[in-house]
Structures are given as structure tokens and as C-alpha cells.
Amino acid sequence: MIQINTSRRVEVVDITPDVQKEVEKSGIKDGLAVVYTPHTTTAIVINENEPGLIEDIVFVLDKLVPRGAGYMHDEIDNNADSHLRAMLLGNSVVIPVTNGKLELGTWQRIMFLELDGPRSRRVIVKVIEG
């Protein structure tokens, strides 16, 4: 399990080293790593950790799902945009593990997206042999 404390409402956190550590802890050399976030206002994606691109991701999320655009859920909990953004991005990724290493491409990183921070969050990593 990976513990993440975010400090902004929308934040992108590169969790690749933490996931690699969980793979090593499992002792499994070949299989699949499932990386899952058990929250309704966070997401997990694989992409490049480049500062300009991180800003672009935040910008596009704002364009696609603007905050406070008359959503029903805002009437009971002021974070409909966070739920909708999370739903579009997805809450898990699966990565092949070979020789004890995550099989990521040169520019691929595992990114946790906080969409309703700051909060204390969890990411669950399960490694399945096979």
C-alpha cells in the first residue's frame, strides 16, 4: 500500500518508484502489477512526467469538466467535477513485470491524480505471478 498526502486541489504525483518498491517487496519476478486507487475523486494514469505536460493535463481537465457547471452532485457535495474527472481518467492500471521490473516505456511513468485535495490518499498495489 502506498500512502500519499496531497497539498493541492488538483495535483499529479509520480508514484513509479513507490510501485517499483512494492513489486520488489512482493518477490515476484514475472507477472502483472495492478495499481488501484480506492477513492471516487482520484485517478491513475500512465504518461510522461514532463512539467509542461502536467500543466496541460490540469488545463485540459478544467476545459473538459469545468468546476461548478451546474452539476446535481454539487447540491449535496461541492465536488462533482472531481468525480466526473476521475471517472473519465479511470482508477487503475495494469503493468507487466519482467525480471522484477515494471515494463514501462522510456517516457512512461505511473501518475496518481488528486482531483479533490488536499487529502490523505491510498494506492493499492497487487502483484500477480504468471
> Residue ranges of the alpha helices (H) in the chain?
16-26, 51-64, 80-89
The DSSP output letter for 88 is H
Binding span for Zn ion by CB under 5 A among 26-34, 78-86, 89-97, 118-126: 78-86
Complex with Zn ion: residue 109 or 121, whichever CB lies closer: 121
Options 77, 88, 118, 129; binder of Zn ion; rule CB under 5 A: 77
Least distance CB 79 / Zn ion (angstroms): 4
Complex with Zn ion: residue 83 or 126, whichever CB lies closer: 83
Complex with Zn ion: residue 80 or 111, whichever CB lies closer: 80
Complex with Zn ion: residue 20 or 79, whichever CB lies closer: 79
Q: Pairing mode, if any, of strands 92-98 and 101-102?
A: antiparallel
Residue pair 40/116 in contact (Cβ under 8 Å)? The answer is no
How far apart CA 54 and CA 76 sit, in angstroms, is 30
Least distance CB 11 / Zn ion (angstroms): 18
Using rule CB under 5 A, residue 79 touches Zn ion:
yes
Q: Which residues, including other chains, have CB under 8 Å from residue 17's CB and lie 6 or more apart?
A: none
Kindly state the cell numbers that stand for 94. 495494469
Residues found near Zn ion in the complex (CB under 5 A):
77, 79
